Structure 1
Amino acid sequence: MASHVPFLAVRPDDQLNSSSDLRARDLVTVIKDNANAMSTPTTTQHAPPASRLPAPIRFFLVCVLSFALSTLLYSVTADAVGYELAAVSREVKEDWHVGVLFAWKFIELGGAWYAGYDWQDLTGLAILSNLPLYFLLTTFYGVDAIASTSILTIDVIAIAVPFALLRPLIHAHEPGKEPNQQVAQDRLIFALVGLLGASIYSVVIYTSLYTWLPVYLLTHFDGLRSMQKAHDASVPLLMLSFIPMGWATAQFLFTPSIGSRGNPGLTDPKIYPEKTNFDPETATIAETIAFNLGFKGGFTKRAEVLAKRSAVLIWASMANTFVRVLFTVDGTEALGAAGWASAWGVAALLTSVAYGFVGNE
């Protein structure tokens, strides 16, 4: 099946259909080009100078820079937004509470480093995993939107800047002339995909706000100040608020899956060099699962990238929201934090499924 992403026209349709030799030649060319790309070193002319340092040293520097940036920027903005946030923050009485938050930050950095993400990936993931907390504070605790946006910006900067200085861009984010990269980096396509992501988040949160969520929050959150913003919410207003979420989903899910090094990005939908016939004797566990799910040729590289990143997004959205809401928002019960996190996990799941449809996986 062809991707729902608009094809990059490189030859008129009549030429594509006139000869099977042309398609065969395209197949050989793409496979060769893709093999050459796979053998190319990951560092490029866009790699920062510090990326040449040994990996353990770079990861240590990432951790130091991230914690330093967080401390510095929180201190700078304390007079402007600190008091407003302090009014709704949980009082830290036990040392282990602080230890949990520091350990969670380290787990985030370690996971991002191990996964091989670059700063553009992490900008999107940081928005997606941290915005639920600040949306809660703005909607139900009366925290000013500017204050919440300021702290969210600090969270993004604290993880994106160290990676920008110490890790090169992944293949999908590099400018290139390969068809898949041109599609992934097309601004109109990116904008449309981002609007799709924002609309899905808007519908999921709107549905939650008008069904089970208000009563659930009142039951498990002690200290909610107002439900007025929740009652006034509408899909258009939420969609406007979630434009950053849409941008982030397109940045973290769509661009890497379409523009990955292993995705040939063919313009002819009849050619599938990345898929092979299923052989039960040599098939891996992933290939066997794919075959049993109906993917006769196995998962494509595009599907593998999307599936892995979708799992990370869902886990990060729920886990980070749960930890930060439970340990930083005053009067929060564990069930309350889990319920709030689950709404965003569902939104992430449905967005991932929709992006799979866009890539026709």
Structure 2
Amino acid sequence: MSPGKRLPPGSAQAQPTPNPKDPKDVLKSVAPKSSLARIPSPARFFLVFFGSLVLSSVLLNLSAGFTQGDLGLVSKHLEEWWEVGGLIAWKGVEIALAWLLGFDMIPFALLRRPTSVHDLSHAPSGTVANRAILQDRPTTIYTTLAATSIFSVIMYASYASWLPAKLVVHFEDIKDISAAHAGPAGLPILFLTLLPAGIAARDFLFVSSTGHKKETPREADQSASREGEYLVTAVYRKTWGQLSTKSKILLSRTILLATGVLVNTIVQVAGTIRSVSIEGAATWGLVWAVATGAVGATFGWIEAVDGL
């Protein structure tokens, strides 16, 4: 273009100038250019989907030596195409939902930049709140142990009360329920078994909500009263609208996780284990859903502390 030629008036507004005070613009400006950005989003999704299937297959084969005696005799042999296709389709729904919601952990970590809360060393100032808390090792240990303890206590209380009767009635080919009668001696083993669940719940719920950047005054005024609003709008404003953005993230993720665990348990148990009723699979999934809700409520109580 010659030096004397001027651009049309509208072309100067095609690319807005980044705002140095906006954390999102700052993050985009300092983010390293990655070759992943050159791969179209649909292609990355299919790579994640097939990668997840491969990862599941590898982990299933690696664990076969430990679970063969327990699951080998009761596992379904899927021979019809619709049975295999149904499980694969459900896997695709899980992956698609997680992809659309912007989740970034395994297997997404290979094909998507981590969010600020999972990349604290590169996150600019202002994009992550409570950075010191998220990086504090004792807090990490305490919140992880709290989540694991809740899972363990609810599971132990279920074993000690109503769950054995449900297992016997709705899992017809079950051979052994000794874990339900292990008593207090089985609690340490149960705790260690559920430790990965506590780690995952802490990362998915506590880290994502606690690390959310602080609200701007405009966001904080969303619950203000308005004249002439509809009743449903007023109810929404006085309930969901009263919550902080951090609380909304925690609540929505807790509901999503509890629902996902429940539905996934029904599909996986009823689809892969012989002689299991839908009611039995739903009962087993409900135990995990309730425990997930209790973990989310505990994290909400922790985040209600002043200054957090």
TM over 0.5: yes
Which of 301, 304, 308 is the matching residue for 2:245? 301
* 3-state secondary structure, aligned to 1:275: helix
CA displacement 1:24-71 (0-9 Å, x = unmatched): xxxxxxxx99x6213345696477532442211211221222223444
Partner of 1:312: 256
Query: Matches of residues 1-361 of structure 1 in structure 2 within 5 Å?
Result: 36-41=22-27, 45=31, 49-71=35-57, 74=60, 77=62, 80=65, 83-84=68-69, 85-119=71-105, 160-161=106-107, 163-175=108-120, 176=123, 179-234=129-184, 235-260=187-212, 262-263=213-214, 275-276=220-221, 278-281=224-227, 288-289=234-235, 291-293=237-239, 298-360=242-304
CA distance in 2, matches of 1:42, 1:311: 30
Using the aligned pairs only, state the percent identity: 30
- The alpha carbon displacement at 1:172 in A equals 1.6
CA distance in 1, matches of 2:153, 2:67: 32
- The alpha carbon displacement at 1:342 in A equals 0.5
Letter in 2 for 1:173: H
Structure of higher RCO (CA pairs closer than 8 Å, 6+ residues apart): 1
TM-score, normalisation: structure 1: 0.68
CA distance in 1, matches of 2:233, 2:34: 37
TM-score, normalisation: structure 2: 0.79
Larger Rg: 2
Q: Rate the CA distance shift 1:239–1:64 in 2: closer, same or farther, 3 A.
A: closer
Cα RMSD (Å) of the superposition? 3.1
CA distance in 1, matches of 2:54, 2:135: 33
Letter in 1 for 2:178: Q
Aligned residue pairs total 278
* 3-state secondary structure, aligned to 1:342: helix
Letter in 2 for 1:349: G
- The alpha carbon displacement at 1:188 in A equals 1.5
* 3-state secondary structure, aligned to 2:113: coil
Q: Is the 8 A contact 2:74 2:174 kept in 1?
A: no
Q: Rate the CA distance shift 1:228–1:68 in 2: closer, same or farther, 3 A.
A: closer
Structure 1 range deviating more: 86-95 or 302-311: 86-95
- The alpha carbon displacement at 1:78 in A equals 8.0
